[in-house]
Structure 1
Protein backbone atom coordinates (compact mmCIF):
# COMPACT_ATOMS: atom_id res chain seq x y z
CA UNK A 1 0.00 0.00 0.00
CA UNK A 2 1.29 3.44 -0.91
CA UNK A 3 0.65 6.43 1.36
CA UNK A 4 0.97 9.97 0.09
CA UNK A 5 1.63 12.36 2.97
CA UNK A 6 3.56 15.54 3.63
CA UNK A 7 3.15 19.26 4.15
CA UNK A 8 1.82 21.94 1.84
CA UNK A 9 1.30 25.68 2.15
CA UNK A 10 -2.23 26.97 2.40
CA UNK A 11 -3.65 30.05 0.74
CA UNK A 12 -2.05 33.30 1.92
CA UNK A 13 -4.43 35.91 3.36
CA UNK A 14 -3.79 39.64 3.28
CA UNK A 15 -5.32 42.60 5.11
CA UNK A 16 -4.63 46.31 4.59
CA UNK A 17 -4.12 48.33 7.80
CA UNK A 18 -5.59 51.79 7.28
CA UNK A 19 -5.02 53.39 10.70
CA UNK A 20 -1.69 51.88 11.73
CA UNK A 21 1.66 53.69 11.52
CA UNK A 22 4.73 52.04 9.96
CA UNK A 23 7.43 51.73 12.66
CA UNK A 24 10.19 52.53 10.14
CA UNK A 25 8.93 55.45 8.00
CA UNK A 26 6.05 56.62 10.30
CA UNK A 27 3.50 56.76 7.46
CA UNK A 28 -0.10 55.86 8.26
CA UNK A 29 -2.06 53.41 6.10
CA UNK A 30 0.85 51.85 4.22
CA UNK A 31 1.03 48.50 6.04
CA UNK A 32 -0.35 45.22 4.74
CA UNK A 33 -0.61 42.21 7.05
CA UNK A 34 -0.29 38.74 5.59
CA UNK A 35 -0.47 35.26 7.02
CA UNK A 36 0.06 31.85 5.49
CA UNK A 37 -0.21 28.43 7.09
CA UNK A 38 1.43 25.10 6.39
CA UNK A 39 -0.74 22.00 6.71
CA UNK A 40 -0.04 18.30 7.13
CA UNK A 41 -1.88 16.33 4.49
CA UNK A 42 -2.65 12.70 3.73
CA UNK A 43 -3.65 11.85 0.17
CA UNK A 44 -3.88 15.60 -0.58
CA UNK A 45 -6.45 16.16 2.19
CA UNK A 46 -5.54 18.76 4.80
CA UNK A 47 -5.59 17.19 8.25
CA UNK A 48 -4.20 19.83 10.61
CA UNK A 49 -2.31 23.12 10.67
CA UNK A 50 1.39 22.89 11.50
CA UNK A 51 2.58 26.49 11.40
CA UNK A 52 1.29 29.97 10.60
CA UNK A 53 3.67 32.71 9.43
CA UNK A 54 2.61 36.33 10.02
CA UNK A 55 4.29 39.45 8.70
CA UNK A 56 3.57 43.06 7.75
CA UNK A 57 5.00 44.98 4.81
CA UNK A 58 5.05 48.73 4.22
CA UNK A 59 4.22 49.78 0.66
CA UNK A 60 6.15 53.05 1.07
CA UNK A 61 9.53 52.08 2.58
CA UNK A 62 9.26 48.35 1.71
CA UNK A 63 10.05 47.45 5.33
CA UNK A 64 9.08 43.92 6.38
CA UNK A 65 8.17 43.24 10.01
CA UNK A 66 7.83 39.74 11.45
CA UNK A 67 5.53 38.77 14.33
CA UNK A 68 8.20 39.38 16.98
CA UNK A 69 8.72 42.95 15.63
CA UNK A 70 5.03 44.00 15.66
CA UNK A 71 4.09 47.17 17.50
CA UNK A 72 1.11 47.10 19.90
CA UNK A 73 -1.03 48.69 17.14
CA UNK A 74 -0.10 45.94 14.71
CA UNK A 75 -0.74 43.25 17.36
CA UNK A 76 -4.19 44.71 17.99
CA UNK A 77 -5.01 44.67 14.27
CA UNK A 78 -3.84 41.04 14.04
CA UNK A 79 -5.97 40.07 17.07
CA UNK A 80 -9.05 41.61 15.39
CA UNK A 81 -8.51 39.49 12.28
CA UNK A 82 -10.94 36.52 12.24
CA UNK A 83 -9.43 33.09 12.81
CA UNK A 84 -8.47 31.09 9.78
CA UNK A 85 -10.48 27.94 9.15
CA UNK A 86 -8.67 24.83 7.91
Structure 2
Protein backbone atom coordinates (compact mmCIF):
# COMPACT_ATOMS: atom_id res chain seq x y z
CA UNK A 1 0.00 0.00 0.00
CA UNK A 2 3.00 2.34 -0.08
CA UNK A 3 2.52 2.96 -3.78
CA UNK A 4 -0.62 5.09 -3.52
CA UNK A 5 0.17 8.59 -4.74
CA UNK A 6 3.67 7.67 -5.91
CA UNK A 7 2.81 7.02 -9.55
CA UNK A 8 -0.07 7.77 -11.87
CA UNK A 9 -1.40 8.77 -15.26
CA UNK A 10 -2.49 12.34 -16.01
CA UNK A 11 -3.67 14.45 -18.93
CA UNK A 12 -1.97 17.75 -19.63
CA UNK A 13 -2.40 20.63 -22.05
CA UNK A 14 0.19 23.31 -22.58
CA UNK A 15 0.48 26.36 -24.78
CA UNK A 16 3.40 25.95 -27.16
CA UNK A 17 3.47 29.14 -29.21
CA UNK A 18 1.48 32.07 -30.55
CA UNK A 19 1.15 31.72 -34.33
CA UNK A 20 0.94 35.13 -35.98
CA UNK A 21 -0.92 34.39 -39.20
CA UNK A 22 -3.48 31.64 -39.67
CA UNK A 23 -6.41 31.63 -42.08
CA UNK A 24 -9.29 30.80 -39.73
CA UNK A 25 -11.99 28.61 -41.29
CA UNK A 26 -14.65 29.95 -38.94
CA UNK A 27 -14.25 33.74 -39.13
CA UNK A 28 -12.53 33.74 -42.59
CA UNK A 29 -9.87 36.22 -41.50
CA UNK A 30 -6.13 36.02 -41.09
CA UNK A 31 -5.69 36.04 -37.32
CA UNK A 32 -3.32 35.09 -34.53
CA UNK A 33 -3.77 31.71 -32.91
CA UNK A 34 -2.42 29.73 -29.98
CA UNK A 35 -0.79 26.37 -30.62
CA UNK A 36 -1.70 24.00 -27.80
CA UNK A 37 -0.36 20.51 -27.18
CA UNK A 38 -2.50 17.93 -25.38
CA UNK A 39 -1.07 14.65 -24.12
CA UNK A 40 -1.35 11.90 -21.51
CA UNK A 41 1.68 10.91 -19.44
CA UNK A 42 2.78 8.42 -16.81
CA UNK A 43 4.67 9.82 -13.82
CA UNK A 44 6.58 8.31 -10.92
CA UNK A 45 7.11 10.61 -7.93
CA UNK A 46 5.76 13.46 -10.12
CA UNK A 47 8.54 12.89 -12.68
CA UNK A 48 7.05 12.27 -16.16
CA UNK A 49 8.46 9.04 -17.57
CA UNK A 50 6.71 8.76 -20.95
CA UNK A 51 3.97 10.46 -23.00
CA UNK A 52 1.38 9.25 -25.47
CA UNK A 53 -1.77 10.50 -27.28
CA UNK A 54 -0.06 13.73 -28.30
CA UNK A 55 -2.39 16.04 -30.23
CA UNK A 56 -1.94 19.61 -31.39
CA UNK A 57 -4.64 22.29 -31.57
CA UNK A 58 -4.85 25.87 -32.78
CA UNK A 59 -7.26 28.27 -31.05
CA UNK A 60 -8.23 31.35 -33.11
CA UNK A 61 -7.91 34.50 -30.99
CA UNK A 62 -10.72 36.22 -32.89
CA UNK A 63 -13.56 33.68 -32.72
CA UNK A 64 -12.12 31.23 -30.13
CA UNK A 65 -12.78 28.20 -32.34
CA UNK A 66 -10.54 25.19 -31.86
CA UNK A 67 -8.94 23.35 -34.78
CA UNK A 68 -6.81 20.22 -34.76
CA UNK A 69 -3.69 20.18 -36.92
CA UNK A 70 -1.51 17.29 -38.13
CA UNK A 71 0.80 15.91 -35.46
CA UNK A 72 3.87 16.26 -37.71
CA UNK A 73 3.28 19.99 -38.20
CA UNK A 74 2.65 20.52 -34.48
CA UNK A 75 5.85 18.69 -33.52
CA UNK A 76 7.81 20.64 -36.13
CA UNK A 77 6.61 23.99 -34.78
CA UNK A 78 7.31 22.85 -31.22
CA UNK A 79 10.87 21.93 -32.26
CA UNK A 80 11.40 25.40 -33.75
CA UNK A 81 11.08 24.50 -37.42
CA UNK A 82 9.69 27.14 -39.78
CA UNK A 83 6.42 25.40 -40.69
CA UNK A 84 3.35 27.15 -42.06
CA UNK A 85 -0.15 26.10 -41.05
CA UNK A 86 -2.48 26.38 -44.04
CA UNK A 87 -6.24 26.66 -44.29
CA UNK A 88 -6.40 22.99 -45.29
CA UNK A 89 -4.49 21.84 -42.18
CA UNK A 90 -7.20 23.14 -39.83
CA UNK A 91 -9.92 20.67 -38.88
CA UNK A 92 -12.64 22.13 -36.66
CA UNK A 93 -13.40 20.09 -33.56
CA UNK A 94 -16.10 20.21 -30.94
CA UNK A 95 -18.14 22.89 -32.67
CA UNK A 96 -20.48 23.45 -29.70
CA UNK A 97 -17.64 24.21 -27.30
CA UNK A 98 -15.86 27.58 -27.38
CA UNK A 99 -12.52 27.70 -25.62
CA UNK A 100 -11.46 31.13 -24.45
CA UNK A 101 -8.21 30.82 -22.59
CA UNK A 102 -5.69 28.71 -20.79
CA UNK A 103 -5.81 28.80 -16.98
CA UNK A 104 -2.74 30.61 -15.63
CA UNK A 105 -2.40 28.22 -12.69
CA UNK A 106 -2.87 24.73 -14.17
CA UNK A 107 -2.47 25.54 -17.92
CA UNK A 108 -5.67 23.70 -18.94
CA UNK A 109 -8.02 25.04 -21.65
CA UNK A 110 -11.24 26.38 -20.13
CA UNK A 111 -14.71 27.06 -21.62
CA UNK A 112 -16.06 30.63 -21.64
CA UNK A 113 -18.95 29.76 -19.31
CA UNK A 114 -16.64 29.40 -16.29
CA UNK A 115 -15.50 32.19 -13.96
CA UNK A 116 -13.28 29.76 -12.04
CA UNK A 117 -11.14 26.98 -13.49
CA UNK A 118 -12.99 23.65 -13.11
CA UNK A 119 -9.66 21.82 -12.75
CA UNK A 120 -7.88 23.86 -10.05
CA UNK A 121 -10.32 26.52 -8.82
CA UNK A 122 -8.23 29.52 -9.93
CA UNK A 123 -10.21 32.70 -10.82
CA UNK A 124 -10.13 33.15 -14.59
CA UNK A 125 -11.21 36.77 -15.07
> What TM-score comes out, normalization by structure 1 length?
0.65
Structure 2 distance, partners of 1:65, 1:8, is: 23
Give the unaligned 5+ runs of structure 1: 69-74
- Higher RCO (CA < 8 A, seq sep 6+): 1
Contiguous gaps of at least 5 residues in structure 2? 81-125
Deviations 1:18-68 (A, max 9, x none): 122111112113322111332101222211112223211111112111247
How many correspondences in the alignment?
76
Q: Give the TM-score of the pair, scaled to structure 2.
A: 0.48
Q: Distance in 1 between matches of 2:64 and 2:15?
A: 19
After TM superposition, which residue ranges in structure 1, 4 or more long, deviate above 4 angstroms? none
- Cα distance in 1 for residues equivalent to 2:46 and 2:78: 28
Give the RMSD, CA atoms, in angstroms. 2.5
